[in-house]
Amino acid sequence: MSRTFTLSEAQELLPVLETLLRRAQVQGSLCATIEVELENLRQQIAISGGMHVDVAKAARRRAERDKALQETKDALAEIESIGVQVKDLEKGLLDFPCLLEGKTVLLCWKQGETEIAFWHSAEEGFAGRKPLDHRFHGTQDERPN
């Protein structure tokens, strides 16, 4: 069984998760930007039947793209190693598996929200988000030893 979180545990992780999420988003965006540049260069070469290319500059940009891609993957892997699911990197959607009445549900947080305030079943996904209710507060936060 994968890790589950109480509401308070998930809430405490938000600052570090938001930092990792932002890093993945910034590096992912940089990677995409460089990939577009390199694709444009490839198209220019193909259209012109060959052209003078600053090989060193192109190699540098490829290395920057590869580094940004690796940093994106590393940040996402770190989030997932904590036990949190990244549902949408661009929107900043994270799900935290949580036990509710003996069943695993997902606490749902979207970047920009100040706290975790929604949940949904695994089947419903983001579209089925519901506000947290009394069942998520109180005794379920106290884990048995």
d(CA 53, CA 46): 12
Residue 2 has what pLDDT? Answer: 77
Residue 145 has what pLDDT? Answer: 33
Cβ count near 12 (within 10 Å) = 12
pLDDT tens across the length of the chain (145 residues): 578 999 999 999 999 999 999 999 999 999 999 999 999 988 888 887 776 778 888 899 999 999 999 999 999 999 999 999 999 999 999 999 999 988 999 999 999 999 999 999 988 888 889 999 988 876 444 443 3
pTM of the model as a whole: 0.83
Sorted by where each begins, the domain ranges of the chain are: 9-83, 93-141
